[in-house]
Structure 1
Amino acid sequence: MGGDMQMLPGSSHRPALKRPVWIIFFVSLVSLFLACSYIYPPHGDAACYVFSSKGCKAVTDRPLPSPARELTDEEFASKVVFRDILHIPRIQPKYSKIAFMFLTPSSLPFEKLWDRFFCGHEGKFSVYVHASKEQPVHVSRYFLNREIHSDKVGWGKISMVDAERRLLAHALKDPDNQQFVLLSESCIPLHSFDYVYDYLMHANMSFVDCFFDPGPHGHGRYSKHMLPVVEKKDFRKGAQVCLNRFI
C-alpha cells in the first residue's frame, strides 16, 4: 500500500509535464516565424496577402520599370550580326527553315494561295511581313502576328532597301532560318513546297534577280551620281533575292 501510494503522484504528473513542452515549442516556433518575417519582409506581391509590412508597401509603391527604348534599324541589324559572329562556329540546326519575307503595302492578295503552299509543312518555314501603308488583314493563320516594325516605302527609293534590310534583320534572329526569300505582294509559288524546300536547301549558293531593262523603270533610272562606282553600261535592275545564311 505504501509503495502504491508513492507511485500514484508520479504517474498523475507525467501527462501534465508533456503539455507545457509542446505549448512552449509551438509558441517558440510561431515567434521565430514572425521574427523572421519582420526582419526579412516579403518582396513578392503574393506574400503581401498574408503579411502586412513595410516590405509590401515598398512593393506597391515601387515605380514600374520604364519600357526599353526601341532600337533603330542600324542598332537592331548590328545586334543580330554580332550575335551570329559570337556564335561561330555555327551549329547546324536540326530542322533548317526558309524565311519568306513579304514586302507589301498592305494586305496580301494571294494569301490564300500561300496558305495552301505552307499547309502541312509547319516547322520548315518562317513568315515575316513588312506592310508599309496599312495594317494587313490576314486570312491565313500562317501570317497572323507576323508583321514587323514597318515604315513607309517609296518604289525605287532607298526606303525600299531599308525595308528589305529590316526584314532580313528580323529573319536572322531565328538561327534555324537558313534561306531567306524576298517576296512582293504579287508573288506566287510556282512549285510545291517540297520542291522549293529541297531545291534551296541543296543549293550551296545565293540567288539575286538582276537583268538589263532598257525601259524608263530600268536603265532610265540611272543617275550620274552613281559614278564612278557604277557606270551606265553596268547598271542593272533587280528585285527578288534568295540568300543563303552562310554565303
Structure 2
Amino acid sequence: MPSALVSAVLPRTMRSLLPRMAASSAPIALHAARISEGLLKASFLLGAPQRALHGGSARTWRVYLSGEIHSDWRERIASGVQKRSLPVSLQSPITSHEDSDDCGAIILGMEEERPNWDRKGATMNLIRTRTLLEDADIVVVRFGEKYRQWNAAYEAGYAVARNKSLITLHEPSLSHMLKEVNAGALAVCEEAEQVVDVLDYVITGRLPKPRDGDRFVPIADRLGKGNKAP
C-alpha cells in the first residue's frame, strides 16, 4: 500500500506508533499485531466507499402490491424480481374476490343485512392490509380499467399518509382521472416491467435500456448542463 495512502486512512494512533516501534525493544510479534490491526482498519475504510460506489443492498426490501386482482401484473413483477435476483419480499392483500367478500361471514357467522356482512369482511381484511402496509418499504398500487378501484385509491392515500414510497401502475388512459393520486407517487408506471426496473434501480443502481430507444438524449445534451454556479 503506498505510504501516502496509508497516511490518509491509517488511524492516527496507528501512525503515531510507527516511529516508536523502530526504537522500541518490544517483541516483533507485538509490533506485527499492532500493524495488522491498523491495516485491517485501513482496508475496511478503503473498501467501504468502493462497495457503496458499486451500489447494491444487503437489506431485504418489503414491497406491498395493492390494487386490482383480475390480471397477472403481480405475477409479472414477481417473475421479474426473481429473474434479477433482487432482495425483495413481495406481499399482497387476499386476491380471491369471493374469499375477501365472505371471510367475515364464514368465520364469524352470516348476517341478514348486506352492510353488516360487508363490514365483517372489510374489517377482517383490514387486519392484513393495514399490517402489511405499515410494514412495507415500498407500496405499489395498480389501477385497472375494468373496475372502479376504490380499495386501491384508499390504500394509495393511506401509504402517502404513512410516508411510504408509493409507485402507481395503470394504463395511460387513466392518467387524468388519477392525477391527484399520481401527484403523491414517487414513480408512475404503465407496465409491470417498469415497476421491476424501478425496484432494480433503487436497490442496485442498475438502469435498463432507455424506454425511448435511440431517440433518448441525456439531459446535459438535450437541456444543457444545469445552472451555472453563481
Please identify which structure carries the higher helix content.
2
TM-score band by shorter chain is under 0.3
Q: TM-score, normalised by structure 1?
A: 0.25
Q: Which has the higher strand share?
A: 1
Say which one has the larger Rg: 1
| TM-score in terms of structure 2 length | 0.26
